[in-house]
Structure 1
Amino acid sequence: MKKKITIGLGCLFLLALAACTEKSQSTDKKLETHVENLLAQMTLEEKIGQMNQISPWGEPTQIAEAVRKGEVGSILNVVDPVAINALQQVAMEESRLKIPLIIGRDVIHGFKTIFPIPLGQAASFDPQLVEAGARVAAIEAASVGVAWTFAPMIDIARDPRWGRIAESLGEDSYLTATLGAAMIRGFQGSDLSDPTAIAACPKHFVGYGAAEGGRDYASTFIPERTLRNVYLPPFEAAVREGAATFMTSFNDNDGVPSTGNRFILEQVLRKEWAFDGFVVSDWASVAEMIAHGFCKDGKEAAEKAVNAGVDMEMVSGLYVAHVKELLAEGKIRMETIDNAVRNILRVKFRLGLFEQSHIDTEAPSVFYAEAHLAKAKEAAVASAILLKNEGDFLPLTDQIKTIAVVGPMADAPHDQLGTWVFDGDKNYTRTPLKALQEEYGDRIRILYAPGTAYSRDRATDGIAAAVAIARQADVVLAFVGEEAILSGEAHSLADLNLQGAQSELIAAVAKTGTPVVTLVMAGRPLTIERDAEASRAVMYHFHPGTMGGPAIADLLFGKAVPGGKLPVTFPRTVGQIPIYHSHNNTGRPYQGNETLLDGIALEAGQTSLGNTSFYLDAGNDPLYPFGYGLSYTTFEYGNLSISADRLRPTDELTVTFEVTNTGKYDATEVAQLYVQDCFGSVTRPVKELKRFARVALKAGEKKTVSFTLPVQELAFYTIDMQKKVEPGDFNLWVGPNSRDGLQTTFVVE
């Protein structure tokens, strides 16, 4: 049976839209009246207090007194609902103006129920699932009084040496914009005043993912055109989605720290995008402008941050120390302070904190609810990427009688959760070893010898035991990867091979002749070429969270079918970095048939190798391209057609093709559409992702997929820095990844 799926722009009923707009305008007018009335009553000290965010310090009585005096607008890292209620009671009943606090917390990929790290969620290519994960996180966090999370991180991340790639949604601007918007919807819900909603904070504004050398906090050098074409679009999408707040980034770009960058905060965010929420600095990033060499001292740092448009300062206390003096000296205007406070109050009103800031501590716990665990497992399944499956070795069948489980990640409940988990409890983690034992231990002999104690363990004395059980087994399941501490903020790596003796472990068990299935749990792409060569099958899991174990067990035995796709390119070697799918071409592009190092004849002529852009020892191709991921079934693309081969900038292009499940398993394929602008006033990427769709297909089923692409989405910032569609020739591909697929062409006139 053939079915049709259409993916295009949503339709809105005009009557409903008009009614919604009228209601919104009325609500906004009422809210702004509240903001102005409150602002008019505030002293300068109280205004500065609203601009001050603290992390708990000293005795609780000291903090309470600061709140009572109106010296604090926000507190982060308090998650005890009793303590939060006590603080809010002081703010709402004992302070002069009764302005509630906004309680912040890093809720990056779950609060108690931990979902796959964001890079893993991105592998699902599923906005609905990403939104659902953020909704679960919001429900659990809001239940203790957290009203604000510092997520999503929508930095474009193209260097896996950078530890914070784990928090990102990958290397692609369109995918990041789409999934970032979904995450914002999940956190904020349909109404910020809903008790289960928390304010989102897209970060880091902007360019942090391009840190030089993949070293955290390092400088970036992104020209304005690239900034606008690649790095800013996810943040613009976040504003359109209604993100309540923004966070600046640690890096300086072209010498200007983001926390003091008027161009991005005033010109782009406020004037061009009309953002009316508030901007918070990253942790102490106002003070860190001194270390950058951008400011002489704390006073100048406060001056530059306030004047750039940073409304709230996170923890460094320089606003409290210096803003009053700066105002008296005429270095900061009262209008600037008032605008900052307006922005903060506006968000507090939208969150409904003035009406309801108290948490019902007697309410039943929502932590680890069955529905939350089920959704976390679904996300872990959807984020799994099958990279190799030689001879269709997976899924495992009932012919398997004995399994050897090896590797340090097989039973690592803490590390499986991944980076940036403050509130998850490892006692609730379901590891692969435990899941396999519980599900199959009564009928399959499961042997366990980790081989190494943890991922960085260089000791090899445990490998012999792993080899011994491998010899007794029908299959070896090697769980390798990274501990949680090896990725995330300030956890950059220069070497992306498996740490410790893990590669030696894989090689040793492979030598027994028993087939090896390697399952990687990590916070970034690793250079696993030699490990993949030693394995019959490879499945990659960006730290899968609380329910990773049951998800992996289901995948191994075919109760679930892998369908994840890589949200980031996998290099063969660190020396290829940066390597990503939407790079520009060169004047001498790689042809694919160049002679590599071992094939070069002795005394070969200097120009005999072709003089193209590649590495003699690694070629030019990645180990696995962006968008890549296998399944237990096979898919065939066919009958590609487009609605017109000549279009105007005001037209829409409809792209139609068929996807057929040609294998024997029901499964989901992520169909992807890429476009290349063949020439322009500036050089253009070789491929850009423009659409994707998850297509569920039963074995043997065929579906017609249709993408609608407005030609205006082909616009870019041209040689004259104007965003527009330029006329010319375009290539278009549809397929399973950024490398393979069907191709056609069209012309924009």
Structure 2
Amino acid sequence: MKQFFRFFKRLLGVLVLLVILTVAFFYFKYKWASNRNFALLEDRALILTQDGHSYRDLNKNGQLDPYEDKRADIEIRIEDLLGQMTLEEKAGLLFITMAGMNEDGYHNEIPIFSEPLTFFLESNSTQVVRKHMNHFNIFQSPSAEALATWNNNMQVMAECTRLGIPVTVASDPRHLNSNNPGANIVTPFFSHWVSPLGFAAIGDTLLMREFGELARREYRAVGIRLALSPMADLATEPRWGRINGTFGEDAQLSAKLTKAYILGFQGDSLNHESVACMTKHFAGGGPQKDGEDAHFPYGSEQVYPGNNFDYHLIPFTEGAFPAKTAQIMPYYGVPVGQTSEEVGFGYNKEIITGLLREKYGFDGVVCTDWGLVTENKIKPPAAYGVENLTEKQRVAKIFEAGCDMVGGESCPELLVALVKEGTLTTERLDQSVRRVLRDKFRLGLFDNPFVRMGDLWMVGHEDIQKQARIAQQRSLVLLKNETKTLPLRKPSKVYLSNFDKAAVAPFATVVNSPAEADFIIQKLYTPFDVREEYMLEKYFHQGRLYFTPEELEPILALAASKPTITVINLDRAAILTEIAAASQALIADFDSSDEVIAALIFGQFTPSGKLPIELPSSQKAVEDQLEDVPYDSQNPLYRFGHGLRYE
């Protein structure tokens, strides 16, 4: 036995030594590569003065070039810079992907164990220095200080490249309470508003624009200048996993809120105070077959059994385009039966060039959704309809379709090869480069891409949070109020299930068992199927909308024990038939805090929200719906627009 333990200790020691040596090997490997990248950088751009005008000497030639002159016409600045760019620099400009950062805001040069996604990403310096990329989507939220510091560090690195082209920092929505790296990023230090569904429940365009203006301040303070939002898709298929990011299923309501959202972020025109919007997903990503999401191969088809394709264009034609959205993102799926070639939106020339460019006259940047081209560990490539093409051929087809940027990819070398071999002309490449540079110039990034740490006071400021709480209050929908159970006014004893005790304590006595209680408050969440075939898949709530018998049993048993107020957090349409029947009161929540919900329950304000989506009565009613048609389930439990008030 002693020999066994001696052997085990030696084996363990060897294993520990191997781990240490492996970590050390990769650390020095990453460090060596990083040092080589930084060695290629030039000095920082000097601030020079000519004829009394100060400018950043971005190409370090000691003289004022037109692209460095903020007084010059933007088109002149574009052409001057375009003429100085190499093919490799142009290609790098047309790719955007995720980028990591260290907790302190320093460049992410070595993968971080606490951020597994960084193991799948190239270092910041590889992307900027080697690949000439300068558009990045950030997915972390260490602190406001770290985000601002990282922006400034990246801008310094970009400034030290040959032409000093600044970085554009992009982000998915950050003001929701849910976290999905494929759709939105939880950011605790930002103000906490409601989901887009919540804004649709309110239906107030003035509030929507106010949100955009306040969110823009928080974005700009930390360096985010491109919002990968809003979602102008329509929630006509209730099983779809992206409904939480939409403004519901009514096209006119979505159009109004989409327009107000963009005006809030961009202003009446794109300028140095703006955050540019990349509105998505043209031509409407909602009608997914059986509700399966197009991030994954089983959701590759968008279908139109109700012949309702044009309905899904309304949020763009009456919302995004009138608001002058800077950029557009097509979705992944194949619009089945709508074009002569059955390929995904990002590859579809009839959609991008024929419909978006020619029919609707959109001349801004069109960027594909993330991950259409290459294999990766996070999700398979959404090369729907072009699976037989090589990666290089896929890039060619994306640009032939009329897109300007490739999202979620960092392979500009493929674009370089296409131009060198003559598959893609320099004229076509320059057309996209001009569009992308135009937004950088309009945003003022060439003149000053840095943020001031002194402006971080506004991030999550109480004045902004007050407005966010008002939105939370106004978004709550009272679905049922049997015998006027609500508001609870008399002193009472309350038992809580999945609800914050501190939120209720100011209004009632919280007890430890249903037997002691006068009322029960229980909080539920929309059910979904757990899927984990792909790394990203676990973040998407898809599939069933019904509660299983095993899930229903404790919910109904609790409701049967005492009068029950049920709160349901809706990120999609839940089937609540049995639960509604067992509850005295039912409240729909769109990411409001428990404190705000408790204030409603105890009569501190009157509910005013209206359902932005229909709540079906059964799974069969869901399955019988047409994916592209709004509010069409038979005998819905609660119809679109339903919402009670206190009498």
Tell me if TM exceeds 0.5.
Answer: yes
Q: Are the equivalent residues in 2 in contact too, given 1:526–1:570 (CA < 8 A)? A: yes
CA distance in 2, matches of 1:509, 1:116: 28
Task: After TM superposition, give the deviation of residue 284 of structure 1 in Å.
Answer: 0.9
Q: What does residue 542 of structure 1 align with?
A: 590
Mapped pair 1:445 → 2:491: no
Q: Are the equivalent residues in 2 in contact too, given 1:120–1:383 (CA < 8 A)? A: yes
> Quick one: which amino acid aligns to residue 82 of structure 2?
L
Q: Which of residues 515, 522, 528 is equivalent to 1:478? A: 522
Mapped pair 1:279 → 2:366: yes
Q: Are the equivalent residues in 2 in contact too, given 1:177–1:233 (CA < 8 A)? A: yes
The C-alpha deviation readout for 1:96-148, integer Å capped at 9, x for no partner, is: 22211111111254552222111122111112222222333222122111111
Mapped pair 1:103 → 2:158: no
Distance 1:296 1:384, change over 3 A: same
Q: Which runs of 5+ in 1 are unaligned?
A: 1-26, 412-432, 449-468, 586-613, 634-749
Q: Are the equivalent residues in 2 in contact too, given 1:562–1:632 (CA < 8 A)? A: yes
Q: What does residue 496 of structure 2 align with?
A: 405
Task: After TM superposition, give the deviation of residue 522 of structure 1 in Å.
Answer: 3.0
Mapped pair 1:372 → 2:464: yes
Q: What does residue 78 of structure 2 align with?
A: 35
Q: What does residue 205 of structure 1 align with?
A: 282
Q: What does residue 347 of structure 2 align with?
A: 260
Task: After TM superposition, give the deviation of residue 535 of structure 1 in Å.
Answer: 0.8
The C-alpha deviation readout for 1:383-415, integer Å capped at 9, x for no partner, is: 1111111111111112x3211212x3x13xxxx
Partner-residue secondary structure (3-state), 1:628: coil
The C-alpha deviation readout for 1:160-181, integer Å capped at 9, x for no partner, is: 2211111111111111111111
CA distance in 1, matches of 2:306, 2:588: 35
Q: Select the structure that is richer in helix.
A: 2
Q: Are the equivalent residues in 2 in contact too, given 1:81–1:145 (CA < 8 A)? A: yes
Distance 1:253 1:228, change over 3 A: closer
Q: Are the equivalent residues in 2 in contact too, given 1:201–1:244 (CA < 8 A)? A: yes
Q: Select the structure that is richer in strand.
A: 1
Q: Are the equivalent residues in 1 in contact too, given 2:240–2:542 (CA < 8 A)? A: yes
Alignment of 1:325-404 (within 5 A): 325-398=417-490, 400-404=491-495
Q: Which moved more, 1:527-536 or 1:389-398?
A: 389-398
Q: Which of residues 606, 615, 630 is equivalent to 2:644? A: 630
> Quick one: which amino acid aligns to residue 609 of structure 2?
G
The C-alpha deviation readout for 1:25-80, integer Å capped at 9, x for no partner, is: xx999222221222122211111111022323772795335424671030111662
CA distance in 2, matches of 1:221, 1:631: 38
Task: After TM superposition, give the deviation of residue 159 of structure 1 in Å.
Answer: 2.0
Q: Which runs of 5+ in 2 are unaligned?
A: 1-69, 101-107, 111-121, 142-146, 177-186, 337-341, 375-380
Q: Are the equivalent residues in 1 in contact too, given 2:205–2:260 (CA < 8 A)? A: yes
Q: What does residue 608 of structure 1 align with?
A: none
Distance 1:28 1:270, change over 3 A: farther
CA distance in 1, matches of 2:479, 2:245: 22
Q: What does residue 260 of structure 2 align with?
A: 182
Distance 1:517 1:584, change over 3 A: closer
CA distance in 2, matches of 1:517, 1:580: 33
Distance 1:59 1:582, change over 3 A: closer
TM-score by length of 2: 0.75
The C-alpha deviation readout for 1:430-460, integer Å capped at 9, x for no partner, is: xxx32222x32xxx31125xxxxxxxxxxxx
Q: What does residue 564 of structure 1 align with?
A: 609
Task: After TM superposition, give the deviation of residue 316 of structure 1 in Å.
Answer: 2.2
Task: After TM superposition, give the deviation of residue 152 of structure 1 in Å.
Answer: 0.6
CA distance in 1, matches of 2:344, 2:320: 22
Alignment of 1:80-119 (within 5 A): 80-92=147-159, 94-110=160-176, 111=187, 112-119=190-197
> Quick one: which amino acid aligns to residue 503 of structure 2?
A
Q: What does residue 139 of structure 1 align with?
A: 217
> Quick one: which amino acid aligns to residue 172 of structure 2?
D
> Quick one: which amino acid aligns to residue 636 of structure 2?
P
Partner-residue secondary structure (3-state), 1:140: helix
CA distance in 1, matches of 2:291, 2:305: 20
CA distance in 2, matches of 1:352, 1:225: 45
Task: After TM superposition, give the deviation of residue 497 of structure 1 in Å.
Answer: 2.2
Mapped pair 1:308 → 2:390: no
Q: Are the equivalent residues in 2 in contact too, given 1:54–1:314 (CA < 8 A)? A: yes
Task: After TM superposition, give the deviation of residue 538 of structure 1 in Å.
Answer: 0.5
Partner-residue secondary structure (3-state), 2:170: strand
Partner-residue secondary structure (3-state), 1:123: helix
Task: After TM superposition, give the deviation of residue 506 of structure 1 in Å.
Answer: 3.1
> Quick one: which amino acid aligns to residue 394 of structure 2?
A
Partner-residue secondary structure (3-state), 1:259: helix
Task: After TM superposition, give the deviation of residue 479 of structure 1 in Å.
Answer: 1.5
> Quick one: which amino acid aligns to residue 496 of structure 1?
L
> Quick one: which amino acid aligns to residue 510 of structure 1?
A
Q: What does residue 571 of structure 2 align with?
A: 523
Q: What does residue 558 of structure 2 align with?
A: 509
Aligned-pair RMSD on alpha carbons? 2.9
CA distance in 1, matches of 2:157, 2:529: 37
Mapped pair 1:231 → 2:292: no
Distance 1:358 1:308, change over 3 A: same
Q: Are the equivalent residues in 2 in contact too, given 1:108–1:149 (CA < 8 A)? A: no
Q: Are the equivalent residues in 2 in contact too, given 1:405–1:476 (CA < 8 A)? A: yes
The C-alpha deviation readout for 1:626-681, integer Å capped at 9, x for no partner, is: 11111113xxxxxxxxxxxxxxxxxxxxxxxxxxxxxxxxxxxxxxxxxxxxxxxx
Q: Are the equivalent residues in 2 in contact too, given 1:348–1:354 (CA < 8 A)? A: yes
Partner-residue secondary structure (3-state), 1:147: strand
